[in-house]
Chains A and B, each alone.
Chain A
């Protein structure tokens, strides 16, 4: 079996084979060392796995759209925290915000690595969102409310995209590992707001008539649908809880974060793009 010929033949049929194999590109390049490390009998098997990964698991254009969508949100968040940290005296809980800002930079790095040349460049931003939050960089409480909204919206955006990465080990581990960090941030920012007197919990808490629990009415669309209590066709308020045979509505909303579509998220964050 001549593996080089196989690769060559695939190249003629699919000029993008090497791209597809990225990030396994190095394995292909160093084919001899790769071969020597794998038992001869296992080679065909190893290649089946390799090709399966290449054609089943590496970014397609549609997947790149998802990753670039996430990347744009991360650019916005990273710029938001970096800019705020650079304003003297604005940030009081510096440790929190530095931690969060560093994580957002990490997300940018992780997504750019996955996208390679397909990664979009960072857009320009207007952190006042076209004047909606004029004191976002001078009033710490305004800064925190915008952070609260951006983090929760980010979480919802990732939940909404999960199914577009179905079955893709590398991409889904990355996306879920970013999503949950955003939810950690959201909870922490909410706790900061609470410590400064806001009436808010670390988890999004709705009622049958209210889905936006931030106390900022202009965020209503960011929280649309967060008070859903029907999960997989089951009204979870009818399920048992510590206090009895049913579950309070608030708990039912707290226990599940809800997805937002890409279109909805892009519309929501559009004012932040200059």
Chain B
């Protein structure tokens, strides 16, 4: 509830900012924009209750895709990361970079297959609560360039690993926590292999001097992941609202 309140507060502040802009402009043109920020998935109900003066306005669906609440929200969060990873490696295998060795092709294909299975599994487990298929945006990646591809792969794997480390404590259902830990381990193996492909011995490059992997919040993770997506993902109940 505390988290939720903080999100509401942030949204209300944002609405006030937009409202001020409307007044300053002396026009109602940004109304569509305003509504876009006003209607943020699950939080919109509470938001409208707080801000009664706009209760008559119809809330248009938010352009972002919200992961939802609770454990299914967290699994959707993982599912979003996995969708990006699976799409990324599928593209890597479809259009191999210049000079890809046989060993590299084998490793990258194996990672692709494991990521695809993680996706299929999360989708099956989430059932009707699963978010829609996301549309990747890899326009920033030159898939013919080995280093560019491996840097992107490293960024994705390290982000995925850190996301698991940083969000596992939010999981309520022990079965889900164990599943997350099982997947996290394999993600760690991917990250090590990609690190070593980039530079031999870089298998633990995001490990601090204390021997602990870095960890990322849901919000900080989605900032990275959304860079690779056309339809952006939000996590309102985990303090991440698209702006």
Contacts and interface: CB of A to CB of B under 8 A. Distances in A.
B177 interface: yes
B198 interface: no
B178 A163 contact: yes
B172 A167 contact: yes
Contacts of A148: none
Interface in A180-195: 180-188, 191
Given A188-B204, A202-B192, A236 B165 contact: no
A54 interface: no
Interface residues of B, number: 55
Contacts of B164: 176, 180
Contacts of A182: 188
Contacts of A186: 189
A243 B208 CA distance: 38
Interface stretch (B47-55, B58-66, B179-187, B227-235): B179-187
Contacts of B191: 180, 184
A173 B169 contact: yes
Nearest to A167: B169
B174 A166 contact: yes
Contact of B185 (A105, A165, A183, A232): A183
Given A180-B161, A187-B193, 9 more contacts: A99-B204, A166-B174, A167-B171, A172-B168, A173-B169, A178-B212, A187-B192, A231-B125, A236-B121
B186 A240 contact: no
A256 B186 contact: yes
B182 A181 contact: no
A109 B166 CA distance: 20
- The list of the 3 closest CB pairs from A to B, nearest first, reads A106-B211, A183-B188, A257-B185
B16 interface: no
B102 to A, nearest CB: 13
B117 A203 contact: no
Interface in A185-215: 185-188, 191, 201-203
B215 A255 contact: no
A247 to B, nearest CB: 5
B19 interface: no
A65 interface: no
B177 A163 contact: yes
Contacts of B190: 187
A259 B182 contact: yes
A145 interface: no
A68 B186 CA distance: 25
23 contacts: A96-B201, A99-B204, A106-B210, A107-B211, A163-B174, A173-B168, A176-B168, A177-B165, A180-B161, A180-B184, A180-B185, A180-B187, A184-B203, A184-B207, A187-B192, A203-B110, A231-B121, A231-B182, A232-B121, A239-B121, A247-B120, A254-B110, A255-B121
Interface in B85-144: 90, 93, 107, 110, 112-114, 116-118, 120-121, 124-125
Nearest to A172: B169
A63 interface: no
A202 B165 contact: no
B179 A232 contact: yes
A141 interface: no
B186 A203 contact: yes
Contacts of B120: 236, 239-241, 247
Interface stretch (A13-21, A22-30, A154-162, A216-224): A154-162
B193 to A, nearest CB: 5
A183 B189 contact: yes
A83 interface: no
A120 B28 CA distance: 68
Nearest to A99: B204
Contacts of B213: 176-178, 180-181, 184
Given A176-B184, A256-B186, A241 B113 contact: yes
B215 A177 contact: yes
A242 interface: yes
B24 interface: no
B175 interface: yes
A124 interface: no
A174 B168 CA distance: 10
A110 to B, nearest CB: 6
A14 B189 CA distance: 45
B117 A201 contact: no
B179 A255 contact: no
A234 interface: yes
Contacts of A95: 201
B114 to A, nearest CB: 4
Interface string A98-111: 01101111110110
